[in-house]
Structure 1
Amino acid sequence: MGSTFRARELVLGIEGLALLRSAVDADDGFVERRVAEIRKFAEGEGEGLPGTGAAVNELDAGAGYAIWSSVYDSLPNSFIEVEEPVVHGMLDAGPVGTALDAACGTGRQTVALTSRGHRTIGVDQSPDMLAHARRKAPDAEFREGRLEELPLPDASVDLALSTLALTHLPDPGPAIAELARVTRPGGRVIVSDLHPFVVTLQGQCHFVAGDEALAFVRNYAHQASDYFRAFSEAGLTVRACVEPVFNGRLASGGYEEFIAEAARAAWRDIPIVIVWEAVKPAEDKGSVEGAEA
């Protein structure tokens, strides 16, 4: 069922969050400006906000990314900007081998893997996303498939990577189990996701889906405990967890630019991404030899 984009209400929420977080420590001028802007928007002055009144539809991942794929790489994305340095640092710290980019999208991490010398397999459920990825990373191999049922045999990769994708699943457990399944003993699993803080506060990420229409693919908030449980159940050992915070950059042309001071105060120092590195324990040689005997 469709709905209407409530830009004014979103602005009021951000103003309120900025006031809530700053009421004790902010100067009087900051507080007064927040109250004045809240009053202004509450009284109905929101007609000039981008997207006001646009139809909004929820799409599943397949349909959503088919539309999103054409503009995905051209849109400013603060999540990617704070996530990539962390993920790439983890890639640089590990050995080169066969790598999986699961839910590879347009191939941004596939390029990072191939450029580091990995034999790389990209998997995504969206043929439209894969078309972009093939052009971007022609040396990689690509397969159509889902996170919950990866089209790879057991223990076939040295590194399994999935970035900013598991947020679209109600439960990250089945996808993490699949990443563990296809990883060889001694290999690594690296996962990034939208931080549950920002998903809980912000909700959904909208994108243009036609004339005067917006859409979103639902994000689910996965708590750190959800991930720890999923890694443990998949037989993985967590080696690192990093939580990059908002970098202060607002999306160009978005409604937050109309309330930039409030938006930056609202999101200041809030972690917006969470990045995990886990290892699949190497097989104990003595136990394997004993089992074979």
Structure 2
Amino acid sequence: MLSEKSEFRVREFVLGIEGLALLRTAVDADDDFVARRVEEIRKFASGSGEGLPGGGASVDELDLGAGYAAWAGRYDSLPSSYIQVEEPIVHGLYDQGPVGTALDAACGTGRQTEALAARGYRVIGVDQSPDMLEQARRKVPDADFRQGRLEKLPVDDGSVDLAVSTLALTHLPDLTDAVAELARVVRPGGRVIVSDLHPFVVSLQGQCHFVTGDDSLAFVRNHVHLASDYLRAFTAAGLTVRACFEPLFNGSLAPGGYEEFIAEAARAAWRDIPIVIVWEAVKPLEGEQS
């Protein structure tokens, strides 16, 4: 379902990035860097920001179903600094095995399904979006794809060795039910791997916009989940956390994105900020304490 249209304020966005860059470098920035930031802030604040694409853009907030239907066709072609820093960690956890049956929950276009299958896992992919599943089936035709929601997975109790959900839980207002479902379908001794947008990024930036098939701007809402929220959800589901990773921004900006027009400020604003959080948890064996 569509919400009412709102405006993505491009000028205010770039001013915010410029201000964050100054805030984070207030002690150790050199005078020339500060002067360039102040000059750009004056230019954009006065409305004379040359090269800045537009003064604003209409943007739709889409629910999960409509959002991923609109996103599906372009999802794999969009560069993502989040995926760049997330995949080496998540794939490294896959490589620790043992290889068995894996669930890719909220599988989207099959990014992780493909990585798991390439490592010899038998993979079940679940997503609520038929459009995303269509893309995933093309990518990994031998996987078992099923339509369903994170909060009610169409998978039997204790039937998989590994349950994975990547960059998806941020779209849920609450983690509890989804994490409980991941724990339910994993056998005792099995693992749960979750990656998500880091709460720092969601708190600072808010929503991640994308271009739909008709070239309009849209977003699916991200929610802030603190580390304590994840820990409570894992504990409530009877899982034991084994590892947590917080990969940092790697300096990569989306080509053609608004931040490219203020690249120096953007890189200074996000430098050394964790942009993704990755969790590995284990379901205790029968009789073990969680």
- Superposition TM-score, scaled by structure 2 size: 0.96
Partner residue in 2 for 1:23: 26
| Within-5 A mapping of 1:229-240 | 229-240=232-243
Partner residue in 2 for 1:75: 78
Partner residue in 2 for 1:180: 183
Q: Are positions 1:190 and 2:193 aligned together?
A: yes
Moved over 6 A (4+): none
Partner residue in 1 for 2:205: 202
The answer to whether the 8 Å contact 2:191/2:280 transfers is yes
Query: Per-residue deviation at 1:212?
Result: 5.8
Secondary structure of 1:122's counterpart equals strand
Query: Per-residue deviation at 1:47?
Result: 6.8
State the alpha-carbon separation in 2 of the partners of residues 9 and 278 from structure 1.
Answer: 40
State the alpha-carbon separation in 2 of the partners of residues 97 and 68 from structure 1.
Answer: 31
Partner residue in 2 for 1:122: 125
Indicate which of 59, 64, 74 corresponds to 1:61: 64
Partner residue in 2 for 1:252: 255
Query: Per-residue deviation at 1:49?
Result: 2.6
1:233 partner amino acid: A
Partner residue in 2 for 1:290: none
Q: Are positions 1:139 and 2:142 aligned together?
A: yes
State the alpha-carbon separation in 2 of the partners of residues 35 and 117 from structure 1.
Answer: 54
Partner residue in 2 for 1:159: 162
| Unmatched segments (≥5 aa) in structure 2 | none
1:95 partner amino acid: P
Aligned-CA RMSD value: 1.4
Secondary structure of 2:28's counterpart equals coil
Secondary structure of 1:32's counterpart equals helix
Secondary structure of 2:24's counterpart equals helix
Once structures 1 and 2 are overlaid, which stretch shifts more, 246-255 or 46-55? 46-55
Secondary structure of 1:155's counterpart equals coil
1:177 partner amino acid: A
Query: Per-residue deviation at 1:213?
Result: 2.5
2:237 partner amino acid: A
Identity rate of aligned residues, in percent?
Answer: 78
Partner residue in 1 for 2:285: 282
The answer to whether the 8 Å contact 2:11/2:56 transfers is no
Q: Are positions 1:261 and 2:264 aligned together?
A: yes
Q: Are positions 1:86 and 2:81 aligned together?
A: no
The answer to whether the 8 Å contact 1:165/1:193 transfers is yes
- Cα deviation, 1:210-264, whole Å, max 9, x if unaligned, reads 5563110000010000000000000000000000010100000011111000000
State the alpha-carbon separation in 2 of the partners of residues 193 and 46 from structure 1.
Answer: 34
The answer to whether the 8 Å contact 2:74/2:213 transfers is no
State the alpha-carbon separation in 2 of the partners of residues 66 and 194 from structure 1.
Answer: 21
State the alpha-carbon separation in 2 of the partners of residues 78 and 236 from structure 1.
Answer: 29
Indicate which of 3, 16, 22 corresponds to 2:6: 3
Q: Are positions 1:35 and 2:52 aligned together?
A: no
1:268 partner amino acid: R
Query: Per-residue deviation at 1:77?
Result: 0.4
State the alpha-carbon separation in 2 of the partners of residues 192 and 212 from structure 1.
Answer: 29
The answer to whether the 8 Å contact 1:5/1:51 transfers is no
The structure-2 alpha-carbon separation of the partners of 1:262 and 1:67, relative to structure 1 and needing over 3 Å to count, comes to same
| Unmatched segments (≥5 aa) in structure 1 | 286-293
Q: Are positions 1:270 and 2:277 aligned together?
A: no
- Superposition TM-score, scaled by structure 1 size: 0.95
The structure-2 alpha-carbon separation of the partners of 1:244 and 1:139, relative to structure 1 and needing over 3 Å to count, comes to same
